[in-house]
Amino acid sequence: MSSTPRIVLLPGDGIGPEIVAAARRLLDALGEFEFEELLMGGCSIDAHGVALTDAVLAACRESDAVLLGAVGGPKWDTTDPDAPRPEQGLLGLRKGMGLYANLRPVRPSPALVGASPLREERIAGTDLLVVRELTGGIYFGDSGRDGDSAHDTCEYSVAEIERIARAGFGAAQRRAAGGGRSARVTSVDKANVLETSRLWREVVGRVAGEYPEVELDHLLVDNAAMQLVSRPAEFDVILTENLFGDILSDESAMLTGSLGMLPSASLGEAGAPGLFEPVHGSAPDIAGRGIANPLATFLSTAMMLRHGFGRADEAERIEAAVDAVLERGLRTPDLLGGTVAPAPTPENPSPESEVGTTEMTDAVLAEVQLDLP
């Protein structure tokens, strides 16, 4: 990586440009970065007729990291199978950048535990990471119809399992190093039924030998789905294949109850650029109103610093700043869940107060800069 990290920004559609502009301000406050802002998604369809041009893909592959807002919106919704669609850009990026590991951390901010559909005492202390294999398994195996039957084939090779297992163990190691906790990987499969799962368990167990300081346990996927809602705080890293990961990462996302707070990273081979993006979509219903919640994008930026650039200190500084502004009661409207912010009282002089994207960004910037040397 060059001394000044080169970041491709793909704001995309809807609220994407608003939240990516906010993240750019945050990065500018933290240090020196080189930015290249390019079109992807619906905006690229309008300009070039395709969601992802070869030139944009090439720029992403040559960068040190890609930060994406969100793509899509009613303007590009179509039932015409031949018309270009914004999400083709996302799939093209994943494939073209060789991104096989999807990382979704779930760490409800202490000030927001009340927003979870789970009882506060169950969710308190939850800080887990779902590591999902992204390019293999049943979504990519042979599928077809034969008369009145249909099939989808699940296939995994040893090499595919090894590389995602290393991504999982590596992430557990980094989390432990940053947070003073012990590292644990829970590998999720269905080894009592599926042959691919038996291979998965065997290979993950072997790769675990390369990481003696990381504890490994195995859970069957049905049990994992139950444990996630009954004792989420006891998980560290959940490592799983594509289909199980798709379902479990959405289940874990719901634990926080706040879509505007969830970051994600998709990573490829070591040294190759990763893609960092909020989990939410382009929120066309609120685009251009200045009320988009930028916090999931800030937390995705923290993931970029940690996983993309090895700058864990700055990642933690952003995460702490996000917690601090929420603790002070600042809320974008989505975090108020349709309620009106209460007025201050002597008993509660700083209750929740409603802010827009700019005020929320200003507050996070001020917190981050407080700690700067």
Shortest spacing between CB 291 and ligand NAD, in angstroms: 7
Find the catalytic residue in 46, 250, 285, 313.
250
- By CB atoms closer than 10 A (0-12, 13-18, 19+), residue 56 is buried
Tell me which of 260, 263, 273, 329 binds ligand NAD, using CB under 6 A.
Answer: 260
* Residue closer to ligand NAD (CB basis): 172 or 295: 295
* Residue closer to ligand NAD (CB basis): 260 or 273: 260
Using CB under 6 A as the binding rule, the residues of this chain from 30 to 49 that contact ligand NAD are none
Shortest spacing between CB 81 and ligand NAD, in angstroms: 16
Residue 217: active-site member: no
Shortest spacing between CB 176 and ligand NAD, in angstroms: 29
Euclidean distance between CA atoms 101 and 268, whole angstroms:
6
| Sheet with 214-220, side-by-side order of all strands | 34-37, 6-12, 65-70, 274-278, 263-267, 101-106, 128-133, 237-240, 183-189, 214-220
In the chain, what is the straight-line distance between the N-terminal and C-terminal CA atoms, in Å? 24
Site membership for ligand NAD, residue 259 (CB under 6 A): yes
Tell me which of 334, 360, 367, 368 binds ligand NAD, using CB under 6 A.
Answer: 334
Site for ligand NAD (CB under 6 A): how many residues? 21
Using CB under 6 A as the binding rule, the residues of this chain from 83 to 142 that contact ligand NAD are 90
Residue 250: active-site member: yes
* Residue closer to ligand NAD (CB basis): 161 or 283: 283
* Residue closer to ligand NAD (CB basis): 187 or 332: 332
Shortest spacing between CB 288 and ligand NAD, in angstroms: 12
Residue 75: active-site member: no
Asked whether the beta carbons of 252 and 106 are under 8 A apart, the reply is: yes
Query: For residue 187, is it left (φ>0), alpha (ψ between -120 and 50) or beta?
Result: beta
Residue with the two structure tokens 């800069």: 369
* Residue closer to ligand NAD (CB basis): 108 or 170: 108
Tell me which of 20, 71, 239, 315 binds ligand NAD, using CB under 6 A.
Answer: 71
Query: For residue 6, is it left (φ>0), alpha (ψ between -120 and 50) or beta?
Result: beta
Site membership for ligand NAD, residue 246 (CB under 6 A): no
CB neighbour list of residue 132: distance below 8 Å, 6 or more residues apart: 101, 102, 103, 104, 240, 241, 242, 244, 245, 246, 248, 249
Residues belonging to the active site: 139, 190, 222, 246, 250
For ligand NAD, the binding residues (CB under 6 A) are 15, 70-73, 90, 259-260, 277, 280-286, 292-293, 296, 332, 334
